[in-house]
């Protein structure tokens, strides 16, 4: 089974860049999209349905902002929108699909780059999501928690850890949260398969030719509960896919 996570930075813009052609070629069984920036009513859903996907959409109340969507060729057993916390659910940040044998949690973590208010919001989200994840595992022990985390976990995950040590997304408090999250029973599935591979990133600034120079950040993850380790066949970063300032990430499981 092939599962993809992709921050498309606007699904309508991505579609204009032949996202549908790429999706047809890549042919994942499930794909979680973040930052779709649209409601489902603004999309021609038949573009996805014609490829065999069921479409589930959790958009933000604010138009043109945030939002997640999950497309699946495998019928889910259940669909759950949000965290039952309106402060986050109004921004369309979490969408869970339960399948036979695991649940796929598609999440768009807040960014703190616009200032102190949103950084504080991000910290609050991290605390609440941690509690939510621990409660969820009691009844759903096999989880693939995928999405744009907006955090680089280790120095290996960012092109310049020294100059970015005070940048949102690589702050000590954010990285400590990632330590806590992984210590609680989640694995960074990419590092399970590629523990020492360097210069592997999933987001590049649009400024200063960052992508062409591969000056990026790895902030998109498929975090998996440890009980899924033996089922992970492969993980990869699809850095040559360019509909967005992010690129897709792939996990294949048995």
Give, in degrees to the nearest 5, the angle at Cα 203 between 93 and 30: 50
Active-site annotation holds for 148: yes
Residue 29 CA to its chain's centroid (Å): 16
As a whole number of angstroms, the distance between CA 49 and CA 71 comes to 9
Q: Which of 44, 42, 104, 43 is nearest to 73 (CA)?
A: 104
Contacts of the segment 16-21: beta carbons below 8 A, 24+ positions apart: 17/242, 17/243, 18/243, 19/243, 20/47, 20/48, 20/51
Catalytic residue among 59, 148, 188, 220: 148
Q: Is 122 helix (H, G, I), strand (E, B) or coil?
A: helix
Q: Other CB atoms closer than 10 Å to residue 115's CB: what's the count?
A: 9
Catalytically active residues, by annotation: 148
């Amino acid at each position: 089974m092939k599962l993809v996570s992709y921050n498309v930075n606007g699904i309508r813009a991505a579609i204009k860049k032949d996202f549908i052609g790429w999706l047809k070629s890549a042919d994942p069984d499930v794909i979680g999209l973040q930052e779709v920036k649209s409601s489902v009513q603004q999309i021609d859903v038949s573009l996805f349905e014609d490829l065999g996907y069921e479409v589930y959409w959790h958009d933000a109340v604010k138009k043109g902002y945030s939002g997640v969507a999950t497309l699946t060729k495998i019928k889910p057993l259940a669909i759950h929108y949000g965290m039952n916390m309106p402060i986050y659910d109004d921004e369309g940040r979490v969408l869970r699909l339960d399948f036979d044998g695991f649940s796929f949690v598609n999440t768009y973590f807040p960014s703190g780059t616009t200032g102190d208010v949103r950084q504080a919001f991000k910290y609050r989200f991290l605390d609440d999501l941690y509690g939510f994840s621990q409660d969820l595992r009691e009844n759903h022990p096999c989880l693939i928690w995928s999405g744009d985390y907006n955090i680089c976990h280790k120095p290996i995950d960012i092109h310049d850890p020294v100059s970015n040590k005070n940048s949102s997304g690589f702050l000590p408090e954010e990285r400590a949260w990632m330590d806590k999250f992984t210590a609680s029973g989640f694995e960074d599935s990419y590092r399970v398969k590629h523990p020492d591979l360097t210069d592997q990133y999933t987001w590049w600034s649009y400024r200063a030719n960052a992508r062409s120079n591969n000056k990026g950040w790895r902030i998109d993850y498929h975090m998996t509960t440890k009980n899924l380790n033996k089922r992970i066949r492969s993980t990869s970063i699809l850095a040559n896919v360019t509909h967005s300032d992010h690129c897709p990430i792939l996990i294949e499981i048995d």
